[in-house]
A = this chain, B = another copy of it.
Amino acid sequence: MSILTRPILEINLKNLLENYRLLQKIAPQAKAAAVVKDDAYGLGACRVAKLLYDQGDCRCFFTAHGIEGEQIRPLVPDADIFVLQGIGKDSADSFYRAGLIPVISSPEMLRFWQKNKIEGIKPAINIETGLNRLGFRENELEQLSREEKQNFSLVMSHLACGDEKGHFMNEHQLNNFNQLRQKYFPKLPASLSASDGTFLGRDFQFDMVRLGAALYGINTAPYRESQMKNVVTIKAPVLQTALMPKGDFAGYSATYRASSDRRIAIISIGYGDGIPRSLSNVGKVFFPRKEKLHEARIIGRVSMDNVICDITGIPGIKTGEEAFLAAGFYTLDDMARDAGTISYEILSRVGMTQRYIRREIMPVN
């Protein structure tokens, strides 16, 4: 037994690399671009980009913002870095310094680009096919001059329901994409799919797939057993164990009351570490033992720095023991289901805080 206070974030970069290679096999004719926006969903864009560049031969990256692209540039010197939110007055400097490729989504942004071009860079054009988010609408495509159309290097769009095989939106967007690109950009390399669309088959893969979530172990094809290896493990130490007498309340606002004597553990992790507060009274914490995986229910409200869980009947839990919040046996997808959200949201929060002790499992080079 020892006293420990900090949560632990374990990032399995070996599995991340294997996920990348598996996805390459699923879309063998397409370029496999890596989406490392939002600091690689919180896992560390520089670490991930360098790994995929060095050991996965990845030469194409996507970020959301210019500053994110600039951060990874030194690690991927000759790669294409596309920026999904595009270029603007508040981000143009990053594009110049790092030679980033903007994804242009509107006529206004195109005009900005034309006044602020970077020599040798041909932007991508994003066209709207059904998501009703960023992208040129058809009436705007009609306005493009022949020369303007020739100054792009990639035509792309984005699926709304790629994680639901058989959803009518997939065929609908595929048809829209094919019609529009054949009409306006017949010779341009094309990209429609992120991770989820990659699993929808060759029709959806085109010349490039943009791989984010699945790299990080998220099951973007939830209609079937996950093929991805787990990347993220979250653990935190038991800071204290105690008896909770029958009738007592636990946590803020006294939302849990013990209807019999309980044994509880206080775990040193909370929503300040990215654990969703919506796991209050419904989430789980695990204690893996040789003979059995013990599950303890979170009781009361998740607070900023702690969760309380019910360890009644789990033998021998001591201060300093590591409780598992997420792991291969209970993935971020499972946690997200319990929390009423998606694993993307949890992942993008967890990685942001400096309070974790970070450990990386590296592939053999």
Q: Hey, which bits of chain A sit against chain B, CB under 8 A? A: 1-6, 37-39, 64-68, 84-91, 105-106, 108-109, 112, 128, 130-135, 137, 160-161, 163-164, 167, 169, 237, 239-240, 242-244, 248-254, 264, 266, 268, 271-272, 274, 277-278, 300, 303-306, 308, 319-320, 340-342, 344-345, 348-349, 352-355, 357
Could you list 13 further interchain pairs (A-B, Cβ under 8 angstroms) beyond the known A108-B240, A164-B253, A277-B341? A2-B88, A2-B89, A6-B65, A67-B354, A68-B355, A106-B240, A109-B240, A160-B253, A161-B254, A271-B344, A277-B342, A304-B348, A349-B352
Residue pair A128, B242 in contact (C-beta under 8 Å) = yes
A-B residue pairs, 8 tightest by C-beta: A352-B352, A3-B88, A38-B272, A5-B88, A132-B250, A3-B112, A64-B305, A106-B240
Residue pair B85, A305 in contact (C-beta under 8 Å) = yes
A66 — nearest CB in chain B belongs to which residue? B5
Q: Given A6-B91, A242-B137, do A348 and B271 touch, yes or no (CB 8 Å)? A: yes
Partner of A251, one of B68, B160, B355: B160
Partner of A137, one of B243, B305, B306: B243
Q: Given A64-B304, A252-B161, do A319 and B106 touch, yes or no (CB 8 Å)? A: yes
Q: Given A105-B239, A342-B277, A357-B90, do A306 and B169 touch, yes or no (CB 8 Å)? A: no
Q: Given A272-B38, A348-B304, do A132 and B169 touch, yes or no (CB 8 Å)? A: no
Residue pair A90, B5 in contact (C-beta under 8 Å) = yes
